[in-house]
Structure 1
């Protein structure tokens, strides 16, 4: 295959320097994202093989506020590793800058910062571990009695805690509005779903005709070897991008096949799906599927979703069937939104309500999912009202 012919370069004799020179706009850069910052640190760290792949997956599941939006259990299932292995890597990622990143909840976020600032083991550490609710309620005397310290020590610790960052990722927030351009379009045509790549965002790559023609001119051996080497590199890059686009397309088609009910009826029909399912379906490695679905978006009849959204762990329900964890989170969110704000639902009540709908999960699982949704406890929601 000739990538010179396939990538739209003119074979004319006249060359316009302005056309071949990179535009000023292409030289502009914008503020790096939190993910960029974490990946930069990851590449400087000693992560290899599976450690590197799982760490990339962890970083890919950190939201804009800097919190881990997936569970260790889900990450272990997705990557085919153990929870202990993922937990160990998570601890290492939590040592990255900014302090508090990759935490699973506010308490862990603040404790990570305390540890990095060398304040572990003191009054601040004890308050965060055992008296965070009392601190929120400003029960300073009660905390002082429990810790056996003076009230002034508690006030000083409270001031330090107030200075910690509850959203460590916010410093990387983009000031400008971020518009999402889908990488994949999914249309329903008759009874089938058609998947197409969005090529508008892809530059039309080509070999500069000047250098392409330079190969056939009389050059000294050193120059000819240099030009040929750069030509091979350019062709390899073009071929790699083509291959990546094909992989994204195949992964998208596989997702549509597995999640057809979602496209038909919505989030309540999102089915459990892990990277391994798609990888085996299209004959690729799980790490490849993870890379090509990160920060890639799909425009569907149900709205625009990140491709990773369609990967969910399985929650067992009555009758031996399974439901996607994302669907369970959605149901918890809907129940809380519909509650009487004067009498908020406890996590135990939420678990019982889910059980009445054949979704049997423990109260602690409800708590975990509620915290992932950034929803307060029943007492916190009542205070807000």
Structure 2
């Protein structure tokens, strides 16, 4: 029983409020952190925001921290010390000496010609929602149960471009749905937004869009049905002769077709766009790379001198013990928050600095020179636990001379090479992408041919791995990449 109680006690020591807060802040994104700090500023009268932290603010916070520590009971102090040891992100003592330095580091370094980097913004787009949009329309269309079932099945086969490439007979067999029901329902889907969605080829896509035009489209439909190749070659004379129409009229019809979207699904590929601001800036200074935290936009916190002095002097406005306890708790909460934010920023800096050290060739030359790297490599370098590194790399972004990347991007598995070294998986994906980009569209490279070419380039990789990377890169199989004209 005594052993059981001891075990429960030791488990309880690890999850202290301060440790919970530190871990929570560490894995927050920049936007989440800003929101959390704003909420704390509203709820905690002890916290104040300053435009620029001065030396007296630093001393005030340091004294408040000592005051909080001094108010702990001996048992409480032991708990705090134990938590400090257990905290994976606090492998060394809290460095008050670095507090102001980190707060001011970015503005000082950025002032020497890096204003352009500081103002750089990056756009990141999340996964397209074309299918959600189509499913919603199917629900709102007043379909019967059979039609809705058929519509759901058809929508599942629509690719990112908005096409159904799988034959309806195959869909009917796989989904156990009557073929005639699928054909009838597909006609209804052709009325959906975006215009042209659900088409089986380019001609059908353009015909569906032509039907959406609220004018007489007889000639337009004839042109699409019979003269698509002439349209592609811009052979307007042949089209005018066949349709027996004046050239001006033919050109007007061609302009309408050129304005149509050959891949209607792409309209939703960039949906739900959001902006990110880098947490870290890496820029070259001479022959070396400098790492700086982005403190821009993060509130600079300090302890209210009014409330700290009130508690220090043992007086409250009403002399109420409850008011004193309230101020004491809020003071403790404020100190914990400031410490946790500082520790978070310091940990991000350490991890980022280690990444730059391990991936120097990437920062110099680009993705092709990215090296294999795992969490353990960085954890061992900075003396922290792998779980801490994992938390730091989540939803944190680094601005580099090569672009903006999430910190997770730099961690890659290794692919063996013929010279005994290893290449990062991202570097291999880049090689595959480059090979496909240079291929003859009439004779696209098969996965096995890509394996052979990579081996000649010193990359020893299996065909199934090439297929997996190709799918990740959203590159179609060679049979679907082949172009006849």
1:279 and 2:375 equivalent? no
In structure 1, the partner of 2:127 is 65
In structure 2, the partner of 1:76 is none
TM-score by structure 2 length?
Answer: 0.48
Unmatched tracts of structure 1, length 5 or more: 12-61, 68-98, 101-118
Bigger relative contact order, structure 1 or 2, given CA contacts below 8 A and separation 6+? 2
In structure 2, the partner of 1:265 is 365
Q: Relative to 1, partners in 2 of residues 1:142 and 1:296: Cα closer, same or farther, differing over 3 Å?
A: closer
In structure 1, the partner of 2:297 is 201
Deviation at 1:379, TM superposition (A): 2.8
1:139 and 2:143 equivalent? no
In structure 2, the partner of 1:71 is none
Deviation at 1:192, TM superposition (A): 2.7
CA RMSD of aligned residues (A): 4.3
1:314 and 2:414 equivalent? yes
Q: Relative to 1, partners in 2 of residues 1:10 and 1:319: Cα closer, same or farther, differing over 3 Å?
A: closer
In structure 2, the partner of 1:301 is 401
Deviation at 1:253, TM superposition (A): 1.1
Out of 143-152 and 358-367, give the one that drifted further.
Answer: 143-152
Deviation string, structure 1 residues 82-113 (Cα, Å, up to 9, x no partner): xxxxxxxxxxxxxxxxx99xxxxxxxxxxxxx
Deviation at 1:187, TM superposition (A): 2.9
Deviation at 1:146, TM superposition (A): 7.5
In structure 2, the partner of 1:233 is 333
In structure 2, the partner of 1:90 is none
**Contact map agreement 1:7 1:207 (CA 8 A) in 2:** no
Deviation at 1:353, TM superposition (A): 1.3
**Contact map agreement 1:351 1:362 (CA 8 A) in 2:** yes
Deviation at 1:227, TM superposition (A): 0.6
Deviation string, structure 1 residues 253-294 (Cα, Å, up to 9, x no partner): 110111112122221111000111111111112221122122
Q: Relative to 1, partners in 2 of residues 1:383 and 1:143: Cα closer, same or farther, differing over 3 Å?
A: farther
Deviation at 1:151, TM superposition (A): 1.8
Deviation at 1:317, TM superposition (A): 1.1
Deviation at 1:220, TM superposition (A): 1.6
Deviation at 1:330, TM superposition (A): 0.8
1:100-111 pair list within 5 angstroms: none
Q: Relative to 1, partners in 2 of residues 1:239 and 1:126: Cα closer, same or farther, differing over 3 Å?
A: same
Return the index of the structure with the highest Cα Rg.
2
In structure 1, the partner of 2:352 is 252
TM-score by structure 1 length?
Answer: 0.60
3-state SS of paired residue (1:304) = strand
**Distance (Å, rounded) in 2 between the aligned partners of 1:231 and 1:384:** 73
Q: 1:360 aligns with which of 460, 463, 469?
A: 460
Q: 1:173 aligns with which of 263, 266, 272?
A: 272
Deviation at 1:214, TM superposition (A): 3.4
**Contact map agreement 2:128 2:269 (CA 8 A) in 1:** yes
**Distance (Å, rounded) in 1 between the aligned partners of 2:408 and 2:166:** 41
In structure 2, the partner of 1:330 is 430
In structure 1, the partner of 2:389 is 289
Deviation string, structure 1 residues 281-312 (Cα, Å, up to 9, x no partner): 11112221122122222222333322221111
Deviation string, structure 1 residues 156-210 (Cα, Å, up to 9, x no partner): 787999999x99x979814xx62x4322222333433222222223221122344
